[in-house]
Chains A and B, each alone.
Chain A
């Protein structure tokens, strides 16, 4: 069979309403709050998707003010990630670093966000200068905060400054109050804090759905890989749920500013709060899409049963599941963590959308987890049923195939406030260093970081949360660990650099790009660093062989990053685009782009804002922001060709074991592609030939992509490209480019 069949009788019998509660100390915690500032504002609802106001809060000076959202901002930057980047650009200097007070965290939902009729329309985009990369990072996150912020009256929340005490910023969109409160007694970790604050700020039980909390956890304070949790109230379970703005360390910035939490209390949500230009079109498109999910999801991806974990076994079958720090692409134990297991482990008889109207409902939850280690040992908790990235990153990539430990790792990443993808990749690196003698028990302070040692893995995470031991070093991320290990002479620098999977300072997410040149570019030729949300081209390139030439690959690396950027401008989720397809999709021209869904997006944008666009204008909208972000990177000292290089593990086999595991493929390439005779070569010679060939191809790809994107061979957007996009109206932007031409 091509796919597992869902069997409802196999779903474990777990009471999804039972878990450890943390409300006992609530009154005392609340009593310790001290109001530092309170101001009134006039709540307002959006008009055609925009409220036309930004809320600026300086947590250092306690300044709170409203700023207008200008027509130019809407025309050029649309919203969401675009607004975030624009505010950040204006806030920082080229010398600003993540922990300077002028660094900001901007949260903006985008004009479409908050409609309830189409799947995946509740996203917030978070932008900040990253502690890991020193350039802007952007993260697309679910939960109710963004829509509730907008329905309170703001298209974006801009947070600047640094406090000297722990704070909560409370935005009450029902009463029209913004309050900064000192919060000295708050619990630290997210699953406790979000629950306590939801109960504290809701005026009654029915009000809980109107509260969303943004917070992080203990490990964000002691590492550079902190993430932000965005909550929503899960009615059926009767508990808070969390979605993560994971990549790049925004949670670290948050705690560096001494923010404990942001709390928004919005008005009760109704179907038309976004006051869209053409409600009928959105309603019809939404119903059509829900029907498509009902009819097709059960025999396509089964997102409603598995979430994104449905591809665990698929990646394994295609030799693409990152295993043992991206050395191999499959493992005999994968069946223990495949989707058949997760669909029996996750609660199935509930509603798992991270915003209203998401019929794709991938936010699966695993209830009734008994925690075995750490400060919550013995507690019963609800944790997200692992997304693919977590199953692969915390699981196969570290050799952990015990599903309970995997859930526990996932739980602690979430509640401690660290990015699961980053943690997975950096732990895989630590484990490989341990295997190869770069690390040993002495250097790790006693942690035996063998493949699959989940207890040591968890202990490293607890150390990160306590701010001690080897956990502190690991929490600096792969890039800084590489520097540290090399400085101490712990191993061959080239090997360390080859196997440490980071680019621009950000860890790779969980796909194997070795055998797909296009995906190598999809990872390293990105704005924020190697995250698959710009382009996922492995099937197109390596399996379908649809994009054989450099120009074909460059075209894909032009179109898809721009197409996917657009989701972040508007507050869309990417999954509903391609994790279900219409029944007649195969008959459409350019079927791989899923034309009917692209048209849905065009229609929804037009119907929300009243601005008619088509699918080409959609790409132009993204291109403005994408190129602006590239120039922002250059302004901050990155974003040139040298910063787009990939570690060799992402391009090809680093070690003899890796070579031998795919010897047939690699030898054939030597004969067919390089015109050499592999039988006359030693293993070392063959590996050297591959390195040269693969690096050469990557450079050729880079040339082709830069050309297609309208960039110079050094990766700088040209003045013509700026004019074409209308970015030449910003003299500062032009100045950055001119310095590099």
Chain B
């Protein structure tokens, strides 16, 4: 079990940042993602795996008109 922006999400071995984005349907392009406080760069979304019990923050930058 991990937490994504405070909400619980099921964990599996090898879960990547990209999979979290897909599962939550987070399609917005301007994101700041940290896994246990460590920043993940956009190029590493596919390759960064998330450990169990991690705290994932997907901060969406502001948008809107």
B64–A536 touching, CB < 8 Å? yes
Q: Give the distance in Å from the alpha carbon of A300 to the alpha carbon of B60 in the complex.
A: 12
Contact of A543 with B63 at beta-carbon distance under 8 Å, contacts A299-B29, A300-B29, A586-B32 already known: no
- Residue interface mask A14-43, B partner, CB < 8 A = 1: 000000000000000000000000000000
Q: Give the distance in Å from the alpha carbon of A532 to the alpha carbon of B39 in the complex.
A: 30
Smallest CB-CB separation from B57: which chain A residue? A544
A509–B27 touching, CB < 8 Å? no
A window 284-318: CB within 8 A of B: 299-301, 308, 311, 313-314, 317-318
A592–B61 touching, CB < 8 Å? yes
Residues in A neighbouring B37, C-beta threshold 8 A: none
Residues in B neighbouring A429, C-beta threshold 8 A: none
Asked whether B1 is an interface residue with its Cβ less than 8 Å from the other chain, the reply is no
Asked whether B30 is an interface residue with its Cβ less than 8 Å from the other chain, the reply is yes
A588 to chain B, nearest CB (A): 10
Q: Give the distance in Å from the alpha carbon of A301 to the alpha carbon of B28 in the complex.
A: 9
A308–B65 touching, CB < 8 Å? yes
- Residue interface mask A534-565, B partner, CB < 8 A = 1: 00111110011110000000000000000000
Residues in A neighbouring B42, C-beta threshold 8 A: 299
B27–A313 touching, CB < 8 Å? yes
B65–A317 touching, CB < 8 Å? no
B33 to chain A, nearest CB (A): 8
Residues in B neighbouring A540, C-beta threshold 8 A: 60, 62
Smallest CB-CB separation from B34: which chain A residue? A586
B5–A587 touching, CB < 8 Å? no
A3–B61 touching, CB < 8 Å? no
Smallest CB-CB separation from B39: which chain A residue? A586
Smallest CB-CB separation from B33: which chain A residue? A586
Interface size, chain A (Cβ < 8 Å): 38
Residues in B neighbouring A510, C-beta threshold 8 A: 65
B30–A300 touching, CB < 8 Å? yes
Smallest CB-CB separation from A308: which chain B residue? B65
B28–A314 touching, CB < 8 Å? yes
Residues in B neighbouring A318, C-beta threshold 8 A: 25, 28
A130 to chain B, nearest CB (A): 19
Residues in B neighbouring A546, C-beta threshold 8 A: 59
Contact of A509 with B65 at beta-carbon distance under 8 Å, contacts A544-B60, A587-B39, A592-B59 already known: yes
Tell me which of A389, A539, A591 has the highest count of chain B C-beta atoms within 10 A of its own C-beta. Answer: A539
Asked whether A578 is an interface residue with its Cβ less than 8 Å from the other chain, the reply is yes
Asked whether B44 is an interface residue with its Cβ less than 8 Å from the other chain, the reply is no
- Residue interface mask A500-520, B partner, CB < 8 A = 1: 000000000111000000000
Residues in B neighbouring A545, C-beta threshold 8 A: 5-6
Q: Give the distance in Å from the alpha carbon of A479 to the alpha carbon of B61 in the complex.
A: 33
Q: Give the distance in Å from the alpha carbon of A539 to the alpha carbon of B6 in the complex.
A: 14
Tell me which of B6, B57, B65 has the highest count of chain A C-beta atoms within 10 A of its own C-beta. Answer: B65
Q: Give the distance in Å from the alpha carbon of A301 to the alpha carbon of B27 in the complex.
A: 11
- Residue interface mask A236-263, B partner, CB < 8 A = 1: 0000000000000000000000000000
Total number of residue pairs linking A and B with CB closer than 8 Å: 82
B58 to chain A, nearest CB (A): 7
Asked whether B53 is an interface residue with its Cβ less than 8 Å from the other chain, the reply is no
Q: Give the distance in Å from the alpha carbon of A574 to the alpha carbon of B62 in the complex.
A: 12
Q: Give the distance in Å from the alpha carbon of A533 to the alpha carbon of B58 in the complex.
A: 24
Q: Give the distance in Å from the alpha carbon of A594 to the alpha carbon of B63 in the complex.
A: 12
Asked whether A579 is an interface residue with its Cβ less than 8 Å from the other chain, the reply is yes
Asked whether A98 is an interface residue with its Cβ less than 8 Å from the other chain, the reply is no
A window 371-404: CB within 8 A of B: 387-389
Asked whether B21 is an interface residue with its Cβ less than 8 Å from the other chain, the reply is yes
A2–B64 touching, CB < 8 Å? no
B27 to chain A, nearest CB (A): 5
Q: Give the distance in Å from the alpha carbon of A592 to the alpha carbon of B6 in the complex.
A: 18
Residues in B neighbouring A389, C-beta threshold 8 A: 65
B62–A578 touching, CB < 8 Å? yes
Q: Give the distance in Å from the alpha carbon of A539 to the alpha carbon of B39 in the complex.
A: 19
Smallest CB-CB separation from B28: which chain A residue? A314
B63–A536 touching, CB < 8 Å? yes
Q: Give the distance in Å from the alpha carbon of A258 to the alpha carbon of B34 in the complex.
A: 58
Q: Give the distance in Å from the alpha carbon of A388 to the alpha carbon of B64 in the complex.
A: 8
B55 to chain A, nearest CB (A): 12
B65–A539 touching, CB < 8 Å? no
A253 to chain B, nearest CB (A): 23
B20 to chain A, nearest CB (A): 12
B62 to chain A, nearest CB (A): 5
Asked whether A581 is an interface residue with its Cβ less than 8 Å from the other chain, the reply is yes
Q: Give the distance in Å from the alpha carbon of A351 to the alpha carbon of B6 in the complex.
A: 43
A334 to chain B, nearest CB (A): 12
B11 to chain A, nearest CB (A): 20
Tell me which of A314, A509, A536, A585 has the highest count of chain B C-beta atoms within 10 A of its own C-beta. Answer: A314
Tell me which of A2, A317, A511, A591 has the highest count of chain B C-beta atoms within 10 A of its own C-beta. Answer: A2
A543–B39 touching, CB < 8 Å? no
B window 1-45: CB within 8 A of A: 5-6, 21, 25-30, 32, 39, 41-42
Contact of A544 with B64 at beta-carbon distance under 8 Å, contacts A2-B27, A317-B25, A591-B32 already known: no
What are 6 pairs between A and B in contact, CB < 8 Å? A301-B30, A308-B65, A387-B65, A539-B62, A544-B59, A587-B39
